[in-house]
A and B are shown apart, each in its own frame.
Chain A
Amino acid sequence: MDSVSQRVLEYLTEVEEGAEEVLTIKQQIVDLDSRRNRNREALNALKTEVSEEKVKVCFGNMFIKFPKLKTREMIQKDQEQLDKEINELRKGLKAKVNRLNEMQGKPELRGYSLSPLSTDEIKAINSLFKR
């Protein structure tokens, strides 16, 4: 293989790797979100559950009777952790997508690194967006 095709191959590998990374992060976010939703369902179920002091919680493939209060605390902690992880992944995703665009010679997505306007500010200039 001559040096030109070697370089092309290297470049293509790099692009593919970048794309793969982006896809992995996306899938990771999806997985985390589905866990977050399951947790939310569980919290709702706990809220409606009135009868007993202890509830059955499924760990892996085993049901364990666990105190209600503790279960809720546990799930809530997990939920916070998930929120944080998803946020971090999203932040990383932006950088990865930008890098991929740069490698492919596409223009950079501008403005996505800005911090968002607050809802009041958005409301104030909302009429401009509906063009």
Chain B
Amino acid sequence: MATTKVPEVRDITRIERIGAHSHIRGLGLDDALEPRQVSQGMVGQLASRRAAGVILEMIKDGHIAGRAVLIAGQPGTGKTAIAMGIAQSLGPDTPFTALAGSEIFSLEMSKTESLSQAFRKAIGVRIKEETEIIEGEVVEIQIDRPATGTGAKVGKLTLKTTEMETIYDLGNKMIDSLSKDKVQAGDVITIDKATGKISKLGRSFTRARDYDAMGAQTQFVQCPEGELQKRKEVVHTVSLHEIDVINSRTQGFLALFSGDTGEIKSEVREQINAKVCEWREEGKAEIIPGVLFIDEVHMLDMECFSFLNRALESDLSPVLIMATNRGITCIRGTKYQSPHGIPIDLLDRLLIIATSPYTEKETRQILKIRCEEEDVELSEEAHTVLTRIGMETSLRYAIQLISTAGLVCRKRKGTEVQVEDIKRVYSLFLDEARSSQYMKEYQDSFLFNEKETPSMDTT
């Protein structure tokens, strides 16, 4: 008849994997926003980091919304790293959404829909929940049942905290719900004052020895402190997108099966906007404009760019940060040439931060940081060789060699990566230049070799 509520246990060990930018902890700026040469995983790019720092401060203060920033630079010059740095320094309270330009092309959802979802994910709404609760440890429950079996039951409930103790008279309903939840002396419970809902927090430590045999799910908690009748205030930060989703969900059992919700009607969005604005005026909500980061922004097409233009005008708009590695190139889907592959009218609205190629010293530093991150020990000579490789081929290739060389080193049971290990992986894995050289030499023996197509323009 009565069911015990088993507390949900969610304890999943998080497996940390090493990503390409996992060494970034922030922008590496001091209090005066001056960039330090090497700090928080960032190396060099002083001017662009300083610029990002200024923008970061403005975002933190909530001064700017509906602005857009473009980080432009050659491949492997730390564009994504700067965006990650901004995300890290914003802290958990400011929403940060990252997506790659190509992510929006899907058959299930229109491009503008997924863009507007991304926009709304990047706007947080802070709201407060307030409940009056009675929280205490049950000292005694006394229930008098009438001898006839029928009629009103009366009872007394004694609750205590570390500071005080009091007796509550119980009505019929309260007695029912207490016995339904199997509340007994020694339990720590809260009673919601508005609804009368009882929830068990666990058993008090002082009663831990009451029974020797105890279910595994029995939780022991301290006897509550302070007053019995408390006011609990919880501040939540939710994104506009999340509010959209629950409001567009089909009611009833169907809701269980719609895992991903797909498209959200614009009417729903408008209603939510109106409600949130109403809350803001009543002082019930604060809007936190967050950051939307679109990597590889040249992958967007004309439609998306004009949508961005429009979306930035809205008063509920986050700060948009985009990154691209293209120079003057065609706008996707058109024949028009434009700098960064972005239409001029959108470029005009952007603050542009440029990144420049790393110097040899900086490359060396970055490789060192990556070695620490990937737990590979590098000898001095190997480090120099790797830096050379990084300068001559690309930084990404050199970083790839770190972990592979580490594996080779471990295979021969060495503790420190030597020049030989680097040489070995260098011969095993081709870099981009050597690979294309190889292609040119053996072009004839490959399949589909008839056509001479122009190579991809990445400059």
Contacts and interface: CB of A to CB of B under 8 A. Distances in A.
A48 B93 CA distance: 52
Contact of B246 (A33, A44, A125): A125
B242 A114 contact: no
Interface in B275-290: 279, 282-286
Contact of B93 (A30, A110, A127): A110
Which of A29, A37, A129 has the most C-beta atoms of chain B within 10 angstroms of its own C-beta? A37
Given A30-B227, A114-B285, A129 B166 contact: no
Contacts, number: 80
A41 B166 contact: yes
Contacts of B93: 110
Contact of A117 (B128, B164, B194, B237): B128
A111 B226 contact: no
Given A36-B229, A116-B129, A125 B235 contact: no
B282 A115 contact: yes
B372 interface: no
Contacts of A34: 163-164, 166, 227-228
B227 A29 contact: yes
B283 A30 contact: no
A119 B132 CA distance: 12
A128 interface: yes
Interface residues of B, number: 32
A119 B194 contact: yes
Contact of A115 (B227, B238, B284): B284
B231 interface: yes
A117 to B, nearest CB: 6
A122 interface: yes
A56 interface: no
A90 B242 CA distance: 32
Contacts of A41: 166-167
A117 B235 contact: no
Contacts of B286: 110-111, 114
Interface string B197-210: 00000000000000
Interface string B235-269: 11110001100100000000000000000000000
Contacts of A32: 227
Interface string A35-51: 01110110010001000
A119 B233 CA distance: 13
A37 B228 contact: yes
A114 B128 CA distance: 6
A112 interface: yes
B163 A114 contact: no
Contacts of A117: 127-129, 279, 284
Interface string A97-131: 00000000000001110111101001011011100
A109 to B, nearest CB: 8
Contacts of B237: 111
Interface string A2-30: 00000000000000000000000010011
B81 to A, nearest CB: 26
Contacts of A110: 93, 126, 235, 286
Interface of B: 93, 126-130, 163-164, 166-167, 169, 194, 226-229, 231, 233-238, 242-243, 246, 279, 282-286
6 contacts: A30-B227, A33-B227, A33-B229, A111-B286, A114-B284, A129-B129
Interface of A: 26, 29-30, 32-34, 36-38, 40-41, 44, 48, 90, 110-112, 114-117, 119, 122, 124-125, 127-129
